[in-house]
Structure 1
């Protein structure tokens, strides 16, 4: 502190007029663009392969963000709460059979498996044991029809959102919904999302909606 005070007291002020110049990229600029400033100050990391199934075009923002948190295992599941030395019942509120964790909720839990298995069949995904890693790999390997790929990712993120919401509702409100009820909510969410961008791109919206109706879960 004394060194700083000494330095400040010995600064010589110039009589030359001072002018300020905006040089965000090392060269003068007359524009302030917030997106450019963000790119300059943020910490850059290598692009991860799963970004394309999280930040999907025409996705639902709150679903995108929750999928991001779940993928990084940042949601306050009971195994994490216990690791933080909180006294909680470790059992999953959806099945009451196994301790709750990210991997258990998505999709080793009997309740969540019932939901995702029906959607996976409808969306023509490989019929494998629905663990988190296997589902993620199957989504990363999606190819072919772009509309089917979009619907698959939209359904996956909607499933994550509904399962996490149901988990919280049971814990904090002591209210229970069936797997069939959640499937209906997921179906409604997907229809509403497609309808929402009909005015921006009617052709894509119509194609997605027709495809969704045509997919037979049986």
Structure 2
């Protein structure tokens, strides 16, 4: 006759665990899929959450650009509010639009790049190898995400508030947000802080 006492044993994927772990359980039951090729462009250690989230939604083409609103049978003028020369879509806004192209190229001028793509698909292919220096590539990713965020914000400002800012103001907002991110990394003694400071605090 067995006189031993019963005891609970957690087993995850056939392996016994010394203690319960909600993370292990979640990882065992959740549906997984291969990492998207664009994931490292969006989620990285120097990203700003609001910039990453906006970029992610644009990669999925989920933001309500005029072309998408029209596809939902909403009767609106499709003209781009930033340049007035084309019809608004994700691909046009970033960066086929003449207004946004000025912002994009001006910001990247500090990296002394000879050729910078302006079409959405070309940019996604270019970013992973935009520069041989990994830290420069990281700074370029910061610029790309910040430009997407601030240009979309400017577009919405024009839609909802009727206000219009010039490209130079957008670039100042972008530079300010990246300096703030760098300052936060420096205050946390994060190793990326001093390395990114050369881009956002020193003259280009």
SS of the aligned residue for 1:23 comes to strand
In 1: Cα distance, 2:131 partner to 2:102 partner = 25
Structure 2 counterpart of 1:117? 105
Structure 2 counterpart of 1:50? 38
For the 8 Å contact 1:111–1:179, the answer to whether it is kept is yes
Structure 2 counterpart of 1:67? 55
Offset, 1:215: 5.5
Q: Which of the numbers 92, 114, 130 marks the counterpart of 2:80?
A: 92
Offset, 1:107: 0.4
Q: Which of the numbers 138, 142, 145 marks the counterpart of 1:150?
A: 138
Gaps of 5+ in 2: 1-5
Are the structure 2 counterparts of residues 88 and 36 from structure 1 closer, same or farther at C-alpha, using a change threshold of 3 Å? farther
In 2: Cα distance, 1:112 partner to 1:34 partner = 45
Are the structure 2 counterparts of residues 139 and 106 from structure 1 closer, same or farther at C-alpha, using a change threshold of 3 Å? same
Structure of greater Rg: 1
Gaps of 5+ in 1: 1-17
Cα RMSD after superposing both structures: 2.2
For the 8 Å contact 1:162–1:186, the answer to whether it is kept is yes
Q: Could you list the per-position Cα deviations for residues 112-150 of structure 1 after superposition, in whole angstroms to 9, with x for gaps in the alignment?
A: 011001112222334245111222222122343232122
For the 8 Å contact 2:182–2:200, the answer to whether it is kept is no
For the 8 Å contact 2:41–2:141, the answer to whether it is kept is yes
**Residues 52-201 of structure 1 aligned to structure 2 (within 5 Å):** 52-201=40-189
Offset, 1:156: 0.8
